[in-house]
Amino acid sequence: MKIDRTGFLCLYLLSSFATAYANPQQQSPQVPSPVQLAATADDGAPQQNPTAQNPTTQSPTSPIPPTQNPTAPAPQTQNPTTQAPPTQAPPAQTPAPQASPDQPTSTAPIVVAPPELPKYPDVRLPGEYGFYIGVDGWTPQEQPIFNHGRNSGIIYNSYVTFQGKAKIGKGAEFGIALGLHNSLHLSYLETRAAGDFTTPVILAVAGGQTYAAGTLVSTDHNIQAVKLSFDYLTWPYPVESRKFRLKTLYQVQYVAAKAGFDAPLLPLVDANGNIILDSSGNPISYAASETKWFILPTFGVSATQYLTRYIRLEASADGFAIPHHSTLYEGESTLNVRVSHFELRGGAKLFHFKTSTSQDFYLKGTLASVFFGIRWYSR
């Protein structure tokens, strides 16, 4: 049968349109030209145009890569949905420490400490810095006594009350500040007096000297004391801007008491003018003296109240005693007024002492008086 070329062409076009209509999303294959169809029908064998491409493997608008041989091993491809592109790892963080399972968990309440109170510097007032020197005077009217000790073996009376009006006692002092409010203080006092009395009975005094009853006896005494004191601030602490000071006193004191006796009306020569000699062949003398001294530690307190920056009240007391031996106590209260580098002081002073009664003789006295003084401060 002979097939007409025109009919064959029409049949091919109809089938192409039907295929394109069934797959509207796919691109239509390239339609061969009538010349190619005619050549195919005439030759009876398929011939490939070297310049034409297979319409099933390449789109006329975009080239399609050639398909791979199914027998060749396919390269491994990455699934875009299962493997994310590599990203930079975040910096490593130190994990928070965890409580050990062996340690019990604390159930105590968390207490937040209150903030610290502001600190104020200590204010040093006049007299609490630098150093000072001073002098003072007092006139105690009390009269010390003299007597023999418990173990003296003296059978006559030895009790004597010293006579006379005391002269103005002398005093001196030196002090230096140590630290903020502490100080070291060195002081000296002295008092003396002289007077006469008539012995009512036989009187035995120092050095084996005795006076018959009715003898006029002259007496004199001299009391001296040296004190080294460390004044330590005890309260308040810290002082800050407070104006009150309470200090404890740690001291060492040296006290010396001297007693002198004489009989000025007794004769030194006989009726012929010859010097009277004693039992040893020496010129006779009716004078006798005795000095007793001791060193004691003393302890006390001192209180100071600043009324203003340059006016203050001050009081102190200290003492120590060894039973049946030495005794010492004293007290002082003053009003102090500061003017530039100078300070005027006035008040009252008390001083009591007793030497050891276990010796052959002892002296004892309580002295009290008003006093006035002046100090010079370096700052």
Give the DSSP per-residue string, 29-78: PPPPPHHHHHHHHHHSS----TT---TTTS-SSS--PPPPPTTSPPPP--
Architecture of domain 131-268+283-377: Beta Barrel (2.40)
CB 12 within 8 A of CB 20: no
CA-CA-CA-CA torsion for 270, 274, 277, 281, nearest 10 degrees? -160
Residue 181: burial class (beta carbons within 10 Å; 0-12, 13-18, 19+)? buried
The angle, 0 to 180 degrees and rounded to 10, between the axes of the packed helices 5-22 and 34-43 is 120
Tell me the pairing of strands 131-138 and 169-178.
Answer: antiparallel
Single pTM value for the model: 0.68
Per-residue pLDDT of the chain (379 residues), as tens digits, is 445 566 666 566 666 666 655 555 444 445 454 444 444 444 444 444 444 444 344 444 444 444 444 444 444 444 444 444 445 555 555 555 555 555 556 676 777 777 776 666 888 898 899 999 999 999 999 999 999 998 888 999 999 999 998 889 999 999 999 988 999 999 999 999 999 999 999 999 998 899 999 999 999 999 999 999 999 999 998 898 899 999 999 999 999 999 999 999 999 998 888 999 888 888 999 999 999 999 999 999 999 999 999 999 999 999 999 998 999 999 999 999 999 999 999 999 999 999 999 999 999 999 999 999 999 999 8
Asked if residue 374 lies in contact with residue 342, where contact means CB atoms within 8 angstroms, the answer is: yes
